[in-house]
Amino acid sequence: MKKRILIIIAIIMIISTIIRTLIVGYSFLSYSKEIIQNESALIADIVMETTDKNKIINLIKYSKPINDVKFISGTKKGIIFDLNKKTIISFYPIGDKTLEIVYNGEIFLKKFKNAITQLLLIAFFSLILIIAIVNYFLNPYLEILESVKKSTKNILNGNFDYRLSTKLKGEAKNFIDSFNTFLDNLKESFNVIEENYTSFIEKKPTQNPLIDTKETIEQLANIFKFKRVIEDDMNETIILDRIANLIEKFNISHYALIGINNHNKKIFYIRKKGDICCSIEDNYTLCRAYRLKHEIDSKNYENLCTLHSCNNDYYCIPFSAEGNFTGILKIMDKNIKETLPYIKAYLKEASTIIESKTTLNLLKKQNIKDALTGLYNRRYLDEILPKILANANRNHSKVGFLMIDIDYFKKINDTYGHDIGDKVLKETSFIILNSIRKSDIAIRLGGEEFLVILTNIKDAQDAYKVAQKIRQNIQKRKISNINITASIGISIYPDLCKDSKTCIKYADLALYKAKNSGRNQVIIFNENLKTTS
């Protein structure tokens, strides 16, 4: 910048000197022309007033500044500057002739050259003086501008260590101090940002913290939005689907995303793309990442995981490694070094939410399920019945209520003990579950009493067939060499009852009738049972 300013000043001075020289030269020529015209007029007047014109012309001819004076034919007026011959010719008309006066131009040219030379020398020394003055007074300010330019360039490259200095005082010194303070604060701010974002994203900083910070803040904003979305998702599967979609947006073409329920020891989610060379779904307990609960990088050691079947690199990331849920992401793409920290940050944020939802679902199931048999309990019954009846009303379908009671259960407890009694309850629950559809609901009401709700049935005969199947399957099964039978009562909504409470009551009346009629049988409720209860 300093050189540029000095060059501009020099160019301005040169142009102004040229313009001044042209003006001075033109003025000099005009002035000289006017003098010659006046002198020529004086000579013409002298010649005209003299009777012996030739004598006067000869006298004038031999004067020092004049080379020749003569009459020429015709009339002509003006002045010619012949620089090649170093002469100035003046034409002055007298009558029908013209007086031609040839002046010696050497003196004129010498004076003209001296004037131009002096002008150029003055301009040259003025230029040097101005540059020296500008350089002396402006140079410190120009150096400040150069330093600011250099510092800005360093900042853009991620270097905040360059500081400005100056010998100036006053406002310039205040500016330098303020700028250096700004750099200190900027460096401190970026150090804080870098320290904090590396705690969120395990990414090694590059040589340009500006670009790092920009990319990381953008990703953190996206992660925050992602977290807000998945917090409102209904279940873990939806969240894992979102993670899989996100992974594909990172242009990863070979991966597997697996969700494992640690409570029931089952894989409940798996999504794969490309060839992952892995049989984790067959036996996830052999997965090294799952067992050790930390990341696996195949580059660290050859043949690291026994489940991996190909001779290529892979990366396995377990997330939410503690608690009721564990997810595993396996990636086989080579160029993932830049995106991997961001993927891990997404998994870290998502794992907490998935773990929370898994735990809440587990607690809910534990709250609505019988601890001994695994069947739903009364609390779940109160929650689900309004929905079942509302759905039946919408679809104009029927609902069957089967009240089941194990015959002589108290005797079994008293004779064989409570451990055998608990075993009978578990086995009976298993038989009931395997005798009904998945859409039907089995509930343990308490003790040896069970309730089965059959959804979307045609009539009472459908319910009767299911009840007989349950009764027969219980009768066929010996539990600890004990023959077990069950009595079952049936009511049908809305044919025999109009609300859930009444339906359960009527099924219980039918069960009472079955037990009083010899047990091990199925009875459908009818109006006559109301009078016998």
| Cα Dmax for the chain | 182
Residue with tokens 């559809």: 437
Q: Which of these CATH numbers, 3.10.180.10, 3.30.450.40, 1.10.3720.10, 3.40.710.10, describes 222-367?
A: 3.30.450.40
Write the pLDDT tens digit of every residue in 28-48.
677 677 777 777 777 777 777
Q: What is the DSSP letter of 337?
A: T
How many percent of the chain have pLDDT more than 70? 92
Q: What is the DSSP letter of 521?
A: -
* Residue 73: per-residue pLDDT: 84
Mean pLDDT of 174-185: 82
Angstrom distances, CA of residue 506 to CA of 291, 432, 492 = 53, 21, 9
Q: Which fold has domain 378-532?
A: Alpha-Beta Plaits (3.30.70)
Residue with tokens 């007047």: 45
Mean pLDDT of 211-216: 70
Q: Which entry of 338, 448, 449, 527 is annotated as an active-site residue?
A: 448
CA–CA distance, 519 with 485 (Å, rounded to integer): 8
Angstrom distances, CA of residue 397 to CA of 219, 383, 388, 492, 507 = 52, 20, 10, 11, 18
CA atoms within 13 A on the CB side of 498: 0
Cα angle, residue 155 at apex, residues 149 and 160 outer, rounded to 5°: 115
Q: Mean pLDDT across the chain, nearest whole number?
A: 84
Boundaries of CATH 3.30.450.40 in the chain?
222-367
Per the CB < 8 A criterion, the answer to whether 258 and 280 are in contact is yes
This prediction has a pTM of 0.52
Closest CA to 498 of 368, 401, 375, 363: 401
Residue with tokens 């002396």: 136
Which pair of tokens denotes residue 135?
A: 């350089």
Write the pLDDT tens digit of every residue in 442-476.
999 999 999 999 999 999 999 999 999 999 999 99
User: Residue 111: CB partners within 8 Å, gap ≥ 6?
Assistant: 28
Write the pLDDT tens digit of every residue in 148-174.
778 777 777 767 777 877 777 788 788
The yes-or-no verdict on residue 84 having pLDDT over 60 is: yes
Boundaries of CATH 3.30.70.270 in the chain?
378-532
* Residue 210: per-residue pLDDT: 66
448 assigned to active site? yes
Mean pLDDT of 476-495: 94
* Residue 116: per-residue pLDDT: 75
Write the pLDDT tens digit of every residue in 359-413.
877 777 778 889 899 999 998 898 899 999 999 999 899 999 999 999 999 999 9
Highest mean pLDDT, choosing among 5-9, 15-19, 179-183, 238-242: 238-242
> Which position has the higher pLDDT, 238 or 153?
238
* Residue 457: per-residue pLDDT: 94
* Residue 238: per-residue pLDDT: 94
Q: Which long-range contacts (CB under 8 A, 24 or more apart) does 154-161 make?
A: 155/183, 155/186, 155/210, 156/210, 157/207, 157/208, 158/206, 158/207, 158/208, 158/209, 158/210, 158/211, 158/212, 160/186, 160/187, 160/190, 161/187
CA–CA distance, 369 with 366 (Å, rounded to integer): 5
> Which position has the higher pLDDT, 79 or 497?
497
Give how far the C-alpha of residue 286 lies from the chain's centroid of Cα atoms, to the nearest Å. 36
498: exposed, middle or buried (Cβ count in 10 Å: 0-12, 13-18, 19+): exposed
* Residue 406: per-residue pLDDT: 96
Confidence of residue 17 (pLDDT cuts 50, 70, 90): confident
* Residue 246: per-residue pLDDT: 92
> Which position has the higher pLDDT, 199 or 43?
43
Q: Which helix (H) or strand (E) holds 100?
A: strand 97-104
Residue 126, helix vs strand vs coil = helix
